[in-house]
Chains A and B, each alone.
Chain A
């Protein structure tokens, strides 16, 4: 069975004072190979916890994650990860960062070089391959992070707010790049974001999560990612459905935030 199955995952953190936090409750998802899903939700809804469980950095308290028929028990090269920032190895050049995965596997130099050259071309960093990563701008660093992840040829790419720290213009360019890479490589991608617009533009499927306990609130299937491939993202934003969906989701998240605030006020009173 191919694809990624998240099967009835629950995550409960027991706190030292005897209480507990239910970070995730009965979350189930089924991603087909090559799907791009964005995950949206107010802070505390467990989206990062979910991503960490899929990556294998955390062990769920119940349920299971199955990738291509194999149960996930820990981190592995078949699930690549792109972090917000600061996860590059600053003691290595751009080229060394990108070839890290192949190098760890012991791939012959000639072969890994070919992969690196190709990916640096794709992300547009051919001229920077021998630079140190700390010499690059934030946007370029995230390009390196994308290339490094792709060099390992993972089945699933997990992105934890990869564009969160970038300025608005760079961010828009990078959104186009993510769509392009997704289409070209056909990878399964889960992308966590705080930005409703980004979730709409990049999510073929969009998952809205709700907090306390963290759970799936609503799921959308959207046409915008497909429309955005190779097109001007600003044109996509003019689509009438785009705006109505955006307003709907914004209202939904606002309601959740209000509810949280109300609850805290109640408990304070």
Chain B
């Protein structure tokens, strides 16, 4: 909630700043600048580059600020867990009414650091309440059982902390944290947690970056990052190509022949809305968890999309083009090759873009379920060991690769079928 609030705040402040001082920086194209009506005129809306940059930066700043990242200045950090020397004084009461005080010293330290127990040498030990020293890693709490503090925990009871009375199941806030007492009279000291996220929940950007580098060179579980990603991509490509190889001719046949259409329509229309992920269990049962299974799954994911794209490409051909070709003396085969196929390419390419997206999503999910290597396998394995930085690297790269595939397809489309939408 706090994070969402901050994000909205940054959005509002940035928008306000832009509204006040941004105007001179806008490079308006001369035509749009002369339009008086822009609200409701979609063509007059230009994506604001400044907003895009701020948007991405603010995500990283929030990420850094909630993980105490060293990449952003310290004043932007939200309060982290308390670290350093702290402690409290407690008072215990014996059954006969005599009271004694003891001191607890604690050192809160970063996770993984090797530290020594705080010294108690300067303190005088007297009475039944003993002094105690402990170390507490960040984000943890330390439980001090009553027997370690009191000579006789059955008879004597701790009654106050820093002078504030405490009873079993009660709690007292002290300077750098909170002391709680359980039903049996033992104390738990929890230094302040702050608002930063523990590393197993969200590692800082630089940790993720470092992990990214080490994944490239050393890999995870003896498999490098590129091997993981490359294998996933390989599966997608093989599955997609097989899907095209079968799906496109099938779509053409359905678009050109009534028997084919009648035969395959029920199958295609039924299989199309079945999410490929729902087929994973069956595929595993039939084909096992090896490459055959995953590639078959991707083949099925691409097949129906490509068949439908090719079919709609055929039915989208303007009849006057076909008529013109016939009256220019073309044979059926020549019409297929010179009119129907090129005319259906834009539809097929749109289908291919969709199919590539679906395949990429499906391969990651399939690897989550069963795989030896692959991007999905890497993140699910890492998550089992709370290696959140690997999980985040994996998610970012899956996103980047998916986006890259789509960009590549768009470039290919522009290059291969420049006539798209201009018929």
Contacts and interface: CB of A to CB of B under 8 A. Distances in A.
B328 A87 contact: no
Given A83-B323, A104-B334, A76 B329 contact: yes
Contacts of A79: 327
Contacts, number: 75
Contacts of A104: 325, 328-331, 334, 338
B422 A134 contact: yes
A75 interface: yes
Interface in B88-134: none
Given A83-B323, A132-B418, A132-B419, A89 B328 contact: no
Contacts of B329: 76-77, 101, 104-105, 152
A76 B328 CA distance: 7
Contact of B328 (A84, A101, A134): A101
Interface string A77-105: 10111011011111100000000110011
B324 interface: yes
Interface in A124-181: 132, 134, 148-149, 152, 154, 158
Given A75-B327, A148-B328, A152-B329, A100 B338 contact: yes
Interface string A226-267: 000000000000000000000000000000000000000000
B329 to A, nearest CB: 3
Contacts of B331: 104
B321 A77 contact: no
A68 to B, nearest CB: 16
A87 B318 contact: yes
Nearest to A100: B328
User: Which secondary structure dominates chain A's binding surface?
Assistant: loop
A235 B339 CA distance: 43
Interface string B313-343: 0000010110111111111001000110011
Given A86-B318, A87-B320, A87-B321, A76 B327 contact: yes
A86 B417 contact: no
A89 B321 contact: yes
A86 B328 contact: no
Contact of A75 (B326, B418, B419): B326
B423 interface: yes
A134 B423 contact: yes
B334 A83 contact: no
Contacts of A74: 326
Contact of B323 (A57, A90, A152): A57
A189 interface: no
Contacts of B343: 91
A87 B406 CA distance: 32
Nearest to A160: B320
B419 A90 contact: yes
Contacts of B418: 132
A154 B327 CA distance: 9
Nearest to B326: A75
In the A-B complex, list the 4 residue pairs whose CB atoms are closest, starting with the nearest. Answer: A77-B329, A134-B422, A75-B326, A87-B320
Interface of A: 55-57, 74-77, 79-81, 83-84, 86-91, 100-101, 104-105, 132, 134, 148-149, 152, 154, 158
Interface of B: 318, 320-321, 323-331, 334, 338-339, 342-343, 345, 417-419, 422-423
Given A55-B323, A104-B338, 10 more contacts: A76-B329, A77-B329, A80-B327, A81-B327, A83-B320, A86-B318, A87-B318, A89-B338, A100-B325, A104-B330
27 contacts: A57-B326, A74-B326, A75-B326, A75-B327, A76-B327, A76-B329, A79-B327, A80-B328, A81-B324, A81-B327, A86-B423, A87-B320, A88-B324, A89-B339, A89-B342, A91-B342, A91-B345, A91-B417, A100-B325, A100-B338, A101-B329, A104-B325, A105-B329, A132-B418, A134-B423, A148-B324, A152-B328
